[in-house]
Structure 1
């Protein structure tokens, strides 16, 4: 009888305990079902390199996951865990990003956030122009540039020519002249940076050489051995030469015996049209020779050093015509073409400060 009472008492206590536990759990579950995430926010990390890349990091108290809707051209979304981020590439513009936080109970909280993607104007724009007679090649480089537009400046209402980063565009001008070449660096958005360069397009360089034409690049080539050259106003506009501008050749003191100047010729000097070179010379002394040397024959014949003539002036302090007759050199073929003109003066001695003037260089029969 005592055992039966003990068993009955144990069962009664157990039922009471179970009843209390279930009631407590039911109450807690109800509370969890109504609890949602709080303080929903975000961190936008917008790239400054004009890539449009935006890293979105959602934050909230009590969230176990987030759904991020980018608000750009798609209805798809991505799920992000707490502490994680998602990245999306946007064009420049204004967007609305929607973030939905889910709590441990499954309750959701959503909020929208404005996103403004603005590209910065390209910086440090550098333009490279490479000219070859009427052809111009353009390259450009700038920080934060997505692409470029090139305006060559030779037609009205010109439409820009697209230029890719690390690319090059080419253009042929119909006539020589000065053109304003404009390069616009594009950010990928509204901001842009531009640079305009006045560029002289020259005609092909070749004989005759008068030193009077703005369409000829008389500075082409260079010097060697210590001499200097320049196109100057004619200091002695008398006698045979009254033209406005001439070429000044200075053999500075100490210049080498082998010193001189060289000028590449875009239009080869063609002996089929004549083999005599005539020019006007002004010197303050007589008896010193001027060398005319023709180099870089088309096809390689003759070799450099063959087409060389020296003629001494016989008149001081007055313009004189000198004639260089290359028909006297048998090693030069009748149809030879040369692509470089070289001048040297008094190659028997070092320079002592001599100054001569040359003008009206031409090829004749």
Structure 2
């Protein structure tokens, strides 16, 4: 009896120190759909909705997804969060779980942010990544390995998602799904892995040099409305992009290699 009691004590102690993974909103076998999601800084704060996937295609054939409606008058950092002490579990960031991916479906190009918090309110700080395509599902991968040793990486029990981190001129509906914790292999996605890419100088008023870890077969530039404004086929590992052809603002450059892709945010003065 004492051994049985010890086993259950150790089992549930270990379980309480692990995050629930994945978060997929499926009603029968999944998790996340019945969690206490609180919407914040979004004007009248319409609740997060768990809905039938309206776009069962591409990389996401899940039946159920989360729907976030970003109000025009909501703050740029409007988002939703799980409940402290419940839902996601309690865990510490480590090399085994510090890469986090999320699938998003958006009609505009804007940052998606993710951060974690402890019961005391310590935060990892949000990491933001812009989607590079619109009107289709895309998986974004967030790298939290840089904060593994920070005090805020221990005893995490809350997930915060910022689906549309920007100042808005329209109301935007964002769908998200399949939040997965894992190692760096998560960065591998169709059609291949993510290319390491830089743009220097950035911001710039004239030229910015895009450099990649492999040959750039295709370079596409999108504005924040998801409209393609430029494309080229450099067939080289670097490319000088002339920003003089663009209006001042923020753009997303999408780079395609032989079996990999990546994107980088570019600011034109």
Of 37, 46, 52, which residue of structure 2 is paired with 1:221?
Answer: 37
Of 195, 205, 208, which residue of structure 1 is paired with 2:22?
Answer: 208
User: Cα distance, 1:356 vs. partner?
Assistant: 1.0
The CA RMSD over aligned residues, in Å, is 2.6
Of 106, 117, 140, which residue of structure 2 is paired with 1:295?
Answer: 117
- TM-score, normalising length from structure 1? 0.39
Looking at structure 2, the residues matched to 207 and 351 of structure 1 have their Cα atoms a distance apart, in angstroms, of 35
User: Cα distance, 1:330 vs. partner?
Assistant: 6.1
Q: Whose Rg is larger?
A: 1
- Could you say which structure has the higher strand fraction? 1
Change beyond 3 A, Cα 1:362–1:330 = closer
Looking at structure 2, the residues matched to 232 and 208 of structure 1 have their Cα atoms a distance apart, in angstroms, of 18
1:337-352 maps to which residues of 2 (within 5 A)? 337-350=155-168, 352=170
Could you tell me which runs of 5 or more consecutive residues in structure 1 were left unpaired when the two chains were aligned: 1-203
Looking at structure 1, the residues matched to 169 and 41 of structure 2 have their Cα atoms a distance apart, in angstroms, of 10
Looking at structure 1, the residues matched to 124 and 92 of structure 2 have their Cα atoms a distance apart, in angstroms, of 16
Q: Does 1:321 align with 2:139?
A: yes
1:1-365 maps to which residues of 2 (within 5 A)? 206-214=20-28, 216=31, 217-226=33-42, 227-228=45-46, 229-264=48-83, 265-272=87-94, 273-286=96-109, 288-296=110-118, 304-329=122-147, 332=150, 336-350=154-168, 352-365=170-183
Q: Kindly indicate whether the alpha-carbon contact (under 8 Å) linking 1:289 and 1:312 is maintained by their aligned counterparts in 2.
A: yes
Change beyond 3 A, Cα 1:330–1:350 = same
Q: Kindly indicate whether the alpha-carbon contact (under 8 Å) linking 1:307 and 1:326 is maintained by their aligned counterparts in 2.
A: no
User: Cα distance, 1:290 vs. partner?
Assistant: 0.6
User: Cα distance, 1:222 vs. partner?
Assistant: 1.0
Deviations 1:180-235 (A, max 9, x none): xxxxxxxxxxxxxxxxxxxxxxxx98331111134645341311122432000001
Asked which structure has the greater RCO (Cα within 8 Å, sep 6+), the reply is: 2
Change beyond 3 A, Cα 1:351–1:364 = farther
Could you tell me which runs of 5 or more consecutive residues in structure 2 were left unpaired when the two chains were aligned: 1-17, 184-269
Change beyond 3 A, Cα 1:338–1:351 = farther
Q: Kindly indicate whether the alpha-carbon contact (under 8 Å) linking 1:275 and 1:326 is maintained by their aligned counterparts in 2.
A: yes
Count of residue pairs brought into register by the alignment: 157
- TM-score, normalising length from structure 2? 0.52
Segments of 4+ in structure 1 off by > 4 A? none
